[in-house]
Chains A and B, each alone.
Chain A
């Protein structure tokens, strides 16, 4: 019979730490999604596929014999370029129409379908595995933690802080927030709004890509991984509040904790249901989520 303390130390804590490493990646993805919505008022239904592409980029780069660290640096750049092209080439086309909201939903949904099919064609339907760049485990407080998970937590956490600083403490961030708050006013102040939109979309997509890179060694890489993950990302964004960075961080960490700890009590099959249930309850009780929009945060 294990004592409560031992249960806390050997069962709860590892689950919680694991959840934290996932949580950091979920937050990155949610940040991308919420920033895109906060500024462009666009729901990127292809965000899950951007995450998947990030993971597949790692597969390709590793396959070329290049190290994981290069993948970590190159993938966000590649994803950003792709995101920029997507925004300029596709989303701009429907952005100025009257039915903008429905059309961008449908368009990004279509983009998601095409991207998923493209992945299936190029990489096949079988799952790939990616080896973690750091192996082994470190002992902390009497427990062993996989080094890679610790790395994910640290790097992911650092990126989250960097994003926060970028948005709230730099002039670039101020420009983005201004454009989110009042597009026309910003334009009349000389801000190249259209380019800001494209760059912001690219940035959001790059964040999803990084999440994909970080989680690739933890989960296996398969074509529908984006779709499976996107409900989680959207739940976080909705619960945290569309367009709120604070909300995305808090909701992302809390929900992943709930998810990993709940798997101690209920079968993992019901994970999705639990999260979905939480999202529905939050939507019914407080439709705008916990916090406000980017421009008004």
Chain B
């Protein structure tokens, strides 16, 4: 999984174009949905973006630091539950729910990180998996949180005056801004010394210590950041659907996020979003033909891992930048 951020190459341009295409297409999709008067597709697109945020958090760990998290849905679900509880029990305030969710997940991420970051490879994957299993089991059995039925009746809230969460296009736009913002922040971070060290850890963690940096501290930071990203995305879920359930923490959700990242292209950030978007569309299309769409996605994933491990964006970027450098007359990158 190559370094994509060489200081003097046209790769960032290729990625930038693909990112613009993604967000523009998403917006277009929602606008078409509004024009057609069908809110189902707008809500689907919003949900795709929300799970795209979870995929971003997985890519941060898998594609950049090099840790495979098989339980990232834990933080997604925690963010969702905290958001629902805040909205129902505390105050029906969008901003409060978001902020409290993020803080809670940062704290949870710190605890989880202290447990998980001592390990690498499969041990990390299993601890991550185990944490999600354990906590989803706990919540499943907690009556105060609705047990297996989850919590319903999350109130509609006002994001800004005039824009409420039950407005499909409006809330889509809010989600679009949040996820877009997360993407931009993460891309920026990857261009900072800290972000570059994340990649260095993935490439050769051993040497990083000999460069004078404490790899453990960076891994914890990445883990907490990923928890916050997942939690923030999760916090939007109850605002969209009006309920939360323990299923949000189940392995299916974690697994899907990993599939999204690998199919889209790990290490590219935008690949995670493309993966989430494309697979949501694919599931929707397949779902109208057969109820067994899961296995198709599973097979697609296996094929990608074997034959196209760099994912869609991973293969598109070199192609695109070859085109771009041809256009630059007399410029050889």
Residues of A near any B CB (own CB < 8 A): 43, 90, 93-94, 97, 99, 101-103, 105-107, 109-111, 113-114, 117-118, 120-121, 227, 231, 234-235, 238, 269, 272-273, 276, 279-280, 283-284, 287
Contact = CB atoms under 8 A, between A and B. Distances in A.
B130 interface: yes
Nearest to B115: A280
Given A106-B262, A238-B123, A279-B130, 5 more contacts: A101-B121, A101-B122, A105-B121, A272-B134, A283-B118
Contact of B141 (A93, A110, A269, A276): A269
B301 A113 contact: yes
B305 A94 contact: yes
Contacts of B70: 109
A106 B137 contact: no
B61 to A, nearest CB: 12
B1 A94 contact: no
Nearest to B62: A102
Interface in B70-126: 70, 115, 118-119, 121-123, 125-126
Interface in B273-319: 292, 294-295, 298-299, 301-302, 305-306, 309
Given A109-B258, A121-B292, A121-B295, A283 B302 contact: no
A231 B132 CA distance: 11
B251 A227 contact: yes
A227 B292 CA distance: 19
A235 B141 CA distance: 23
Contact of A106 (B118, B129, B305): B305
A112 to B, nearest CB: 9
B127 interface: yes
Contacts of A93: 306
Contacts of A120: 292, 294
A109 B298 CA distance: 9
Best-surrounded residue of A113, A234, A284 (most CB of chain B within 10 A): A113
A284 B115 CA distance: 8
Interface residues of B, number: 37
Contacts of B10: none
A46 to B, nearest CB: 11
B180 to A, nearest CB: 28
Given A105-B125, A109-B70, A276-B133, A118 B301 contact: no
B263 to A, nearest CB: 10
A272 B137 contact: yes
Contacts of B130: 231, 235, 276, 279-280
A88 B286 CA distance: 30
A120 B252 CA distance: 14
A283 B119 contact: yes
A107 B302 contact: yes
The 6 A-B pairs with the shortest beta carbon distances in the complex, nearest first, are A117-B295, A114-B298, A113-B298, A110-B302, A276-B130, A43-B122
A101 B118 CA distance: 18
Contacts of B262: 106
14 contacts: A43-B121, A93-B306, A105-B68, A105-B125, A106-B68, A106-B262, A107-B302, A113-B259, A121-B295, A279-B126, A280-B127, A283-B119, A283-B123, A287-B123
Of listed A117, A120, A279, A287, residue having the most chain B CB within 10 A: A117
B305 A107 contact: yes
Contacts of B28: none
A255 to B, nearest CB: 14
B133 A231 contact: yes
A99 B255 CA distance: 20
Contacts of B259: 110, 113
B138 interface: yes
A117 B68 contact: no
Nearest to A274: B134
B20 to A, nearest CB: 29
A41 to B, nearest CB: 10
Nearest to B122: A43
A118 B66 CA distance: 30
Given A114-B298, A117-B295, A227-B251, A283 B127 contact: yes
Nearest to A91: B306
Given A106-B68, A273-B134, A113 B306 contact: no
Contacts of B134: 272-273, 276
Interface string B1-33: 100000000000000000000000000000000
A113 B301 CA distance: 9
Given A105-B122, A234-B126, A110 B295 contact: no
Given A102-B68, A117-B292, A280-B115, A110 B126 contact: no
Contact of A90 (B68, B127, B302): B302
A100 to B, nearest CB: 11
Contacts of A121: 292, 295
B306 A107 contact: yes
Nearest to A273: B134
Given A99-B1, A272-B133, A117 B294 contact: yes
A109 B119 CA distance: 19
Nearest to B119: A283
A236 B118 CA distance: 19
Nearest to A107: B305
B314 to A, nearest CB: 12
Contacts of B123: 238, 283, 287
Contacts of A231: 126, 129-130, 133
Interface centre among B115, B118, B130, B258 (most CB of A within 10 A): B130
A270 B129 CA distance: 16
A207 B108 CA distance: 38
